[in-house]
A and B are shown apart, each in its own frame.
Chain A
Amino acid sequence: MTVESWIQVWYALPVLLRGLLVNLELLLGLLALGLVVGMAVALVEVYAPRPVAAAAVAYEWFFRGVPELVLLFLFYFGPDQFGVQISAFTAAVLALGFRSSAYQSQIFRGAIQAIPAGQMLAARSLGMGRLRAIWHVVLPQALRLSLAGWSNEFSSVLKDTTLAYGIGVVEVMRQARYLTARNFRLALPAFIAVAFLFLILTYLGNWTIGLVERRLRIPGLEVRR
């Protein structure tokens, strides 16, 4: 490991950053998918009739129990078997997104169940329907309570975007591998550089979520742990 190799990596930084951008796109896609599906799964688990709720629990269990890499391969090669071509990036968003939805649904479900039953009763006593009460009274509170757990999930999936490397998405790990394939002496500085990029992103992300949390904080609605 020479000073020269560090300098070379420094000059290759734009390439790494271009790869990192792909990780961020992935992150955005999978978090959004995970949020929407996860919220739906949580609502079904809490409010839907037994058989439907049980299906949601099974869904959650499946996506929490199968390794991410296996999911990535299933989503990448699976559709192919039925004649559907799907890009590695799309497969990664779907696989990681559905997986994240299983974890997010657990966070949301916990938050929804932490809202005292009286809140729902009071909303119903005003004449609100069930859905309206969920939308105006339960969800605004549950989402706030979810932020702490959600920030954990954020840091976790941010790092997991690197697993898309496994199905050939040209993200930061792949770019680093390209770099080191030409010169194996670059491997150490290149991967350490990637590590620090992720440290920075993790800090930035948690700082932003913390900021949002403080902005949305309401007296009496703190996270009860």
Chain B
Amino acid sequence: MGQLLVVEGVCKRYGAEEVLCGVSFSLEKGETKVIIGPSGTGKSTLLRCINRLTEPDRGRVWLEGMEVTAPHANINKIRSQIGFVFQDFNLFTHLTALDNVRLGLLKVKKMGRKEATERAQAELARVGLAGKADAYPAQLSGGQQQRVSIARALAMDPKLILFDEPTSALDPELIGEVLGVMVKLAHEGMTMLVVTHEMGFARSVADEIVFMERGVIVEQGPPEKLFRAPAHPRTAEFLRKISELYGEAA
């Protein structure tokens, strides 16, 4: 069983609206998978269903053969092994950058103070923010905040990291620094599942692209195939629209 993450038939509805219906895919260790698709098609919900920040109505999720969706699964322990990077960062407002990275180590992993501090400093250095350890989130730019939040996820030694539109809340000039960190992580062999509209990133880094629309996976495949010769007309139309919007040729 070589799959790190297996998602099978996940469904979620809010009231009458079916946000996800029967989504299945899997992720190998070291793989970077990018989910694209129009806004409001359940991509973020899908990510949240994977670590059950949102409880799926149906379907199952496995992480390294352990069922995440099992009724008695230790969800907190599982979540500590799945990094999550939010669109709006969600850095803890009352804590410095260092403390943001350190909190999970101290309180979830029960690491000693000295060790946690060293680890947190190392992770901040890894995202290029060694000098900002004492800054509060409000004193950092959006790009810096998102890098701290990536460091916070990395410090937990996650088996994979889920990125929920990590650059959507950023000013255009700040997007590059965050993508830079993500590219580096991908090359270092981190397993990543990324929801994004950054087609450049998707094309150059993703091992596989998943195109979702209206709660279902329309098509998936390697970027060269999906971008060059999409099998489904909906995919083609989406790619055309997004290239108009972002000025990037698909």
Contacts and interface: CB of A to CB of B under 8 A. Distances in A.
Nearest to A127: B80
A126 B80 contact: yes
B91 A122 contact: yes
Contact of B86 (A121, A127, A128): A121
Decide if the interface of chain A is mainly helix, strand, loop or mixed: helix
Query: Could you say which of A119, A126, A129, A136 has the most chain B C-beta atoms within 10 Å of its C-beta?
Result: A126
B230 interface: no
A182 B70 CA distance: 79
B66 to A, nearest CB: 14
Contacts of A132: 107-108
Interface string A117-133: 01101111111110010
A136 B95 CA distance: 10
A137 B108 CA distance: 13
Contacts, number: 78
Contact of B53 (A115, A125, A218, A221): A125
A138 to B, nearest CB: 10
B76 interface: yes
B51 A125 contact: yes
Nearest to A118: B90
A128 B94 contact: no
B136 A218 contact: yes
A83 interface: no
A99 interface: no
Nearest to A126: B104
Interface in B68-108: 76-84, 86, 88, 90-94, 103-104, 107-108
Given A136-B107, A218-B136, A220-B136, A123 B92 contact: yes
A161 interface: no
B76 A122 contact: no
Given A127-B80, A128-B76, A220-B137, A140 B108 contact: no
A207 B82 CA distance: 46
A141 interface: yes
B138 interface: yes
B33 interface: no
A124 B139 CA distance: 24
Interface size of A as a range: 20 to 34
Contacts of A136: 103, 107
A14 interface: no
Nearest to A139: B94
A219 interface: yes
Given A126-B103, A128-B76, A121 B108 contact: no
A144 interface: yes
Contact of B90 (A121, A141, A219): A121
Nearest to A130: B76
Contact of A122 (B90, B136, B139, B156): B90
A201 B92 CA distance: 36
A194 B230 CA distance: 84
A164 B237 CA distance: 76
B94 A141 contact: yes
Contact of A128 (B51, B81, B90, B104): B104
Given A132-B107, A220-B138, A124 B79 contact: yes
A128 B107 contact: yes
B86 A219 contact: no
Contacts of B83: 125
A120 B247 CA distance: 36
B156 A144 contact: no
Interface of B: 51, 53, 76-84, 86, 88, 90-94, 103-104, 107-108, 136-139, 149, 152, 156
